Amino acid sequence: MAANSFGLTGFTPVRHLSGGLVRVNAFPIATSGGTGFDDSIFSGDAVALNGDGTIELFAVGAGSETAPTLLGVFAGCSFTQSSDNTYKFAPNWVASTAVVTGTTITAWVYDDPMTVFAVTTDATTAMTQTLTGLNADHVQGTGSTFTGQSGASLNVTTGIQTASAAFRILRIIDMPGNTVGNTKCRVEVICNEHVYRLGVGT
């Protein structure tokens, strides 16, 4: 089976479905005793909204149609690092980073449910036009500690659903090298099981 040459780089915002602006909003990352959230989060990773208003990495298959938790896509963070007392801007959150006690770790999130993201499909199953309009979960992958970029992809092998899955496939992107019928296709998606929405896609 042939594969396109695109990397697995998570979800990249490309446009707003209604033509509006693509924006980020600020959300806190949970801290406990001066230590931040214990999972790494990379730019392009899907994130979830917790009941206390903090965000965390969105687990594959988490949430549901009636109780969605998907908030959007991580776009970086800022925090005051305790080791040198400096304020940092970073494309990724490193698990359990020590921060100055009493300060806030701010995550920037593309949280508008109408934001359209580009993502690469997995390296196992061919992406065909018949999958357009269906819903799919993602594969978390491994982010890059060098660039801070996500390693997530869209799971069109075992993650395809007609209703309950995190993302809705809008279209295969018309671009050089993006051969339909290959694996690792670039597609556009929106969030399906989004925490701001009710009555997700069927």
Question: Cα(35)–Cα(44) distance, rounded to whole angstroms?
Answer: 23
Q: Which amino acid is at 67?
A: A
pLDDT at residue number 158: 87
pLDDT surpassing 90 at residue 130: yes
Q: Which of 60, 47, 145 is nearest to 105 (CA)?
A: 47
- What's the pLDDT at 170? 97
- Span 2-51, pLDDT tens digits: 999 999 999 999 999 999 899 999 999 988 877 888 899 999 999 999 88
Q: Does residue 184 come out as left (phi exceeding 0), alpha (psi in the -120 to 50 range) or beta?
A: left
| % of the chain surpassing 90 pLDDT | 78
* Predicted local distance difference test score (pLDDT) of residue 110: 98
pLDDT at 171: 97
Taking residues 69-80, what's their average pLDDT? 96
Q: To the nearest whole number, what is the mean pLDDT of the chain?
A: 91
**Domain map of the chain by residue range?**
12-16+113-191, 25-110
Residue 67 — very low, low, confident or very high, per pLDDT cuts 50/70/90? low
Per-residue pLDDT for 199 more than 70?
no
Q: Is the model's pLDDT at 112 over the cut of 90?
A: yes
Buried b (16+ CB within 10 A) or exposed e, 112-135: bbbbbbbbbbbeebbbeeebeebb
Give the whole-angstrom CA distance, residue 190 versus residue 166: 9
- Quick one: CA dihedral 184, 173, 57, 59, positive or negative? negative
CA–CA gap between residue 40 and residue 141 (Å, rounded): 12
